[in-house]
Amino acid sequence: MSENFQVVRVDYHNPEHASALIELLNAYALDPMGGGIPLTESTRCTLVTKLAQLPNAFSLIGYLDQQPVALANCFEAFSTFRNQPLLNVHDFAILPAWRGRGFSQQLLAAIEQLARARGCCKITLEVLEGNQPARAAYARFGFDAYLLDPQKGKALFWQKLL
């Protein structure tokens, strides 16, 4: 692990942070695990402004020697069963050239620290079934499939596009 890796909470009003967030998110979008399609021009131009308007949102950027190499976009939600906030990691990406160096663990630790500070009962995220490196990194940090009753099976993440 590099001693020069630093996780910084994004200031959405800081142009350097905003630019790094968009570039990292676009790199993730272009990756096969992100869908392989670049962000639209509209998203590139308005996303950071929209995130800044959401009090339940925060983003973290991992810098290696002052170069942005990792990103997490997170949103606070609420667990009705636990009657406490939860934190969802919506986007989590390490640039391909920097994967496998332990940066994911450091970024996840920063997320956990903020979740605990917010009084969250858990952290949730989604991962593609075939993304074995990410699954291994998340498992190494303590994540596991969501399961209430072993006879009913694991929870599935579904979507309906609007």
Judge whether 93 lies within some domain.
Answer: yes
pLDDT tens, position by position, 6-26: 999 999 999 999 999 999 999
Is 109 part of any domain? yes
Residue 146: inside a domain, yes or no? Answer: no
Query: Would you state the pLDDT for residue 58?
Result: 98
In a domain, 114, yes or no: yes
Q: Tell me if 35 is assigned to some domain.
A: yes
Q: Is 150 domain-assigned?
A: no
56-89 burial, b if ≥16 CB within 10 A, otherwise e?
ebbbbbbebeeebbbbbbbbbeeeeeeeebbbbb
Give the model's pLDDT for residue 147: 86
The number of distinct structural domains making up the chain is 1
Q: Is residue 156 domain-resident?
A: no
pLDDT at 1 over 50: no
33-43 confidence digits (pLDDT tens): 999 999 999 99
CATH value at residue 62: 3.40.630.30
Residue 47 banded pLDDT, cuts 50, 70, 90: very high
Higher-confidence residue: 105 or 155? 105
Instruction: Provide the domain limits for residue 45.
Output: 5-141
- What percent of the chain lies above the pLDDT cut of 70? 98
